[in-house]
Structure 1
Amino acid sequence: MFIDKGGLGVVIHNHAGEIIAALSDKIPQPPSVTCLEILAARRATIFVNEVGLHESILEGDSETIIKSFQKGDMFQSAYGHLLKDTMFYVNSLRRYGFSHNYRNGNSVADALAKKAIFSFDSTIWMEYVPPDINSFVLVDIPLS
């Protein structure tokens, strides 16, 4: 079965690792995994602003993308416009940082992204995640 949709999953944690908000967003299938990872970072940054936060550490499991944000490179690449657009939202925060975590520390966002493909266009949860995602919360290793 060919799926022409992609999914984005975003989780916002507080400093204690508790969930503040979560998002599952269906999007058209991007041309590459790199593009999908950048779109996820962009949506996460927009979501942080929508929730009204002013400080954030953007975590992702793509080391290449996180390093691109940290170093400010790849802006001349095919996806440079998406990186620049993401940095526009990042720069609206008072304080921010970028952190690479491995996929096992990103399982909630990954599960929400997969859920998005077969769900409505966009769903937001405040202070919790849906019951079918709860088991992934216990597995995730929040940034401390």
Structure 2
Amino acid sequence: MASLSEQIHLPVSSDMVEALAAARAISFALEIGCSPFILEGDSELVIKTLCSEERSLASFGHILESAKALTEANCISFSRVRRIGNSVAHNLAKHARYVSNYTVWMKDVPPHLYYVLEADSS
């Protein structure tokens, strides 16, 4: 349906990047009216925090609490997928290094993802 690639400036840790990306993905999906949906991520800590009813004391806990607040009225589930199992997301993350702000593709496959999607479907 849609893809987004966005730079996250000065990431403190990989979990912080995952938390920021998860929050942005939730916001983006709701902005374009995509509900229900499944958010996949490769950080076990971030996915556990999103699934948990308890507040997180992690440095990125406040970011995920805000994102979870957006999900309360929507059917959203969370799933941990190892990086090797989610080559599309990994490719979008690599692509973000080369964009000045962010790039969105609606109803089109980003050109740099054709070969990744083709390999996924094989």
**1:81-120 equivalent positions in 2, closer than 5 A:** 81-93=62-74, 95-120=75-100
**1:1-144 equivalent positions in 2, closer than 5 A:** 20-73=1-54, 75-93=56-74, 95-140=75-120
Compare 67-76 and 39-48 and name the one that shifted more.
67-76
Gaps of 5+ in 1: 1-19
Deviation of 1:74 after TM superposition, in Å, equals 5.7
Code of the residue aligned with 1:102 in structure 2: it is R
Report how many residues are paired: 121
Gaps of 5+ in 2: none
Which structure has greater strand proportion?
1
Are the equivalent residues in 2 in contact too, given 1:24–1:115 (CA < 8 A)?
yes
Query: Residue 27 of structure 1: SS of its match in structure 2?
Result: coil
Query: Residue 75 of structure 1: SS of its match in structure 2?
Result: coil
Alpha-carbon distance in 1 for matches of 2:118, 2:20: 26
- Structure 1 stretches of 4+ with a deviation exceeding 6 A read none
Code of the residue aligned with 1:81 in structure 2: it is H
Are the equivalent residues in 1 in contact too, given 2:55–2:65 (CA < 8 A)?
no
Which structure has greater helix proportion?
2
Query: Residue 118 of structure 1: SS of its match in structure 2?
Result: coil
> Over aligned residues, Cα RMSD in angstroms?
1.7
Deviation of 1:73 after TM superposition, in Å, equals 4.2
| TM-score, with length taken from structure 2 | 0.88
